[in-house]
A and B are shown apart, each in its own frame.
Chain A
Amino acid sequence: MASAAPTVSGKRKLCALLVEDNLLDAELVRHSLEHEGFEVDSDVVQTEAEFRARVTATPYDVVLADYNLPQWRGVEALDILRAEDLDIPVILVTGSLGDIAAVECIKRGVTDYVLKDHLTRLPASVSRALEETRYRQERARAENALKENQERLAGILASAMDAIVTVNEQGQIVLFNEAAELVFQCPASEAMGQPLHRFIPERFQAAHEEHVRKFTAGAATRRRMGKVETLVGLRANGAEFPMEASLSRVETQTGKLFTVILRDVTEQEALRRLRQRAEETLSKKAAELTRSNRDLEQFAYIASHDLQEPLRMVASYTQLLAERYRGKLDDNADKYIGYAVEGALRMQTLIQDLLAFSRVGRNGSEPKAVNANLAVHEALQNLRSTLDESRANVVCDNLPAVAVSRSQLVQLFQNLVGNAIKFHGAEPPQTRITAEKADTAWLFSVADNGIGIAPEHHDQIFMIFQRLHARAEYPGNGVGLAICKKIVEQHGGKIWVESDLGRGSTFRFTLPDCGSNQDGLEKT
């Protein structure tokens, strides 16, 4: 052994612990080693206690122990070393040792024994012991590292979200992690050694084999499967499920190993289908809406012409009858004709109101920043004669600009103020228009001192053609507030009323602030 050969240039260091009661013998031992090229640094102990103290304090390369000591036998050093978990080779250096004792010592773990009268053998024995120890320790380290690696890998496999399955060249499963157990609903103990086919629906097996064959022949060692097309897996209970998978190949000494990493995408697939269905429904609805808008336009046109025409005939000619034949028939005839005229005229107004209602928002003009003060001003101008007649007083705060189409804003105020005046009480009508900021919107209020509205009617009044009063009492068709609601809601706002009978009404509505877009702001 190379290390045992004496070297001239570099001396090998050796830290040795001698268990020896004879100091001369100790010196001889040292001498024999130094003679063979060791640079010896040694301590000598005689008792068990000394030995224990020394050996735990200093990392010795070797223990050289006499077999026969007065208090204890050198071989007992082995027990101490084992107890202290120290891997130090022990060589017995002894005067005499019977064959039986020698065997016993070797069994107990002594590395070698050298008789004192053959000390020339010692250096070689020490060298060999050192070599063996080094080798053993390295191997232990390597084994430890391997074990650690395996544990880490096992941890990864066990905690992986994806199912990991490895098959050998014969197609038998050799690895089946916990996620695979869950996905395929099959314990690893059952899956191991089984063919992979067991987890592929029969109708896909041929395709799968072809896939693997190509992959085996190809140069690539990694490949993602089912990236475009979702694959189908088979659970132990016979249920199928969609999955995504990637395949890798490793060449080992025992052959090729194929590892499939796969994921159950049942939920994603379900979500995808749901989304797809939702999108289909949405586009169908959009098409329906477009069609119904077109129908509505068509209806509006028909109402404005084709319906009006015959109605006009009825109205005009019953009026002509009334005019030309008044008093010439009997009293009932005059009355009946009067009803017919009235009905036809009311029908005309209803159609016109319905048209006006359907027209809201179809004007298509982009909402831009409109100064609400100007809109109120214009609305009041349009209501001038009504305001004068009823001696109404309208007070208006300084109002903000809002992002609403101008003509619609005018109509909104006109309808609300018009209503406030129409439904006035005993007092001359008082109306107050205010606005306050509410987040990104403005909250407008139009408050009056009129007859008020019972709470149970608060929602009803915004519906088209809903009236709370007899026509003779308050004229109108019940379109104004429906139009207001449509205008406000088209701009993403809300409209409601706070009122009670005899306590006046406050109509409130929100409209979007024009934000930073001041470009279109009208100058006052």
Chain B
Amino acid sequence: MTDREVNILLVEDNQDDIELTLHALRRENLANKIFIVRDGEEALDFLFCTGPYAQRAPELIPRLILLDLKLPKISGLEVLQRIKADPRTQSIPVVILTSSREESDLVNGYRLGVNSYIQKPVDFDQFRDTVKKMGLYWLVINQYPISNGDKKAEVRHGERSSNS
């Protein structure tokens, strides 16, 4: 699994939320190629191919990261900061999907460069609708810069020619 293409990296420790998210995405046929990590450290290991993911092909970059904020080991905001600070990962769209209603989380999220910030609705139907719209928006409508090795190479190619 880990050396296949991944569309969505879901960073979530709450099993209920995982199930709900998968359920909503599956109804829209968006759930294939989804990979789940359960804490901030694992998320970073996965993205940077370290620790248990040292054998993973680093050019296989997810199209979207769904990031919870309250995570074990390393917090969601710190994970976000690390992703946006590294040129290998900074262009991957990150969507914070959180139950936090803190204005400071919201502002800090955008300040650290999150691509969008979504507060999980408490109501189940609303949650499902939100995940569905979020999935369609980011995976279908949005143009993502990288998905696999070939695309990544084209990105580098493009950079060079745009600088010349």
Q: CB within 8 Å of B: which residues of A?
A: 294, 297, 359, 362-365, 378, 381, 405-408, 522-523
Determine how close the nearest CB of chain A comes to the CB of B32; give it in whole angstroms: 8
B148 touches A406 (CB 8 A): yes
Interface flag for B88 (CB, 8 Å): no
**Chain A contacts of B156 at CB under 8 A?**
364
- 18 example contacts (A-B, Cβ-Cβ < 8 A) are as follows A294-B161, A297-B161, A359-B154, A362-B154, A363-B150, A363-B153, A363-B157, A364-B154, A365-B149, A365-B150, A365-B152, A365-B153, A365-B154, A407-B148, A407-B149, A407-B150, A408-B150, A522-B3
- Bound-complex Cα distance A362 to B157 (A): 8
Give the distance in Å from the alpha carbon of A523 to the alpha carbon of B152 in the complex.
21
Complex interface: chain B residues within 8 A of A364 (CB)? 153-154, 156-157
**B151 interfacial contact with A, CB 8 Å:** yes
A363 touches B151 (CB 8 A): yes
Which partner residue on chain B sits nearest A384 by CB separation? B29
Residues in chain B near residue A365, CB distance under 8 A:
149-150, 152-154
Main SS class of interface, B? helix
Neighbour of B150 across the interface among A297, A378, A406, A523, CB < 8 A: A406
Residue interface mask B1-43, A partner, CB < 8 A = 1: 0010100000000000000000000000000100000000000
Identify which of residues 117-157 in chain B touch chain A, using a CB-to-CB cut-off of 8 Å. Answer: 148-154, 156-157
A residues near B152, Cβ cutoff 8 Å: 365
Instruction: For B149, give the chain A residue with the smallest CB separation.
Output: A365
Query: Cβ of A297: which chain B residues have Cβ within 8 Å of it?
Result: 161
Quick check: A523 and B3 within 8 Å, CB to CB?
yes
Whether the pair A405, B150 counts as a contact (CB closer than 8 A) is yes
Chain A residues near B149 (CB-CB < 8 A): 365, 406-407
| Nearest chain B CB to A289 CB, angstrom units | 16
Q: How far is the CA of A408 from the CA of B148 in the complex (A)?
A: 12
Residues of B within 8 A of A407 (CB): 148-151
CA distance A240 to B153 in the complex (A): 58
Q: How far is the CB of B8 from the nearest CB of chain A, in Å?
A: 16
Q: Which residues of A are found within 8 Å of B161, using beta-carbon distances?
A: 294, 297
Q: How near does chain B come to A277, taking the closest CB pair, in angstroms?
A: 31
List 8 additional contacts besides A359-B154, A364-B157, A406-B148; criterion CB under 8 Å.
A362-B157, A363-B154, A364-B154, A381-B32, A406-B150, A407-B149, A407-B151, A523-B3
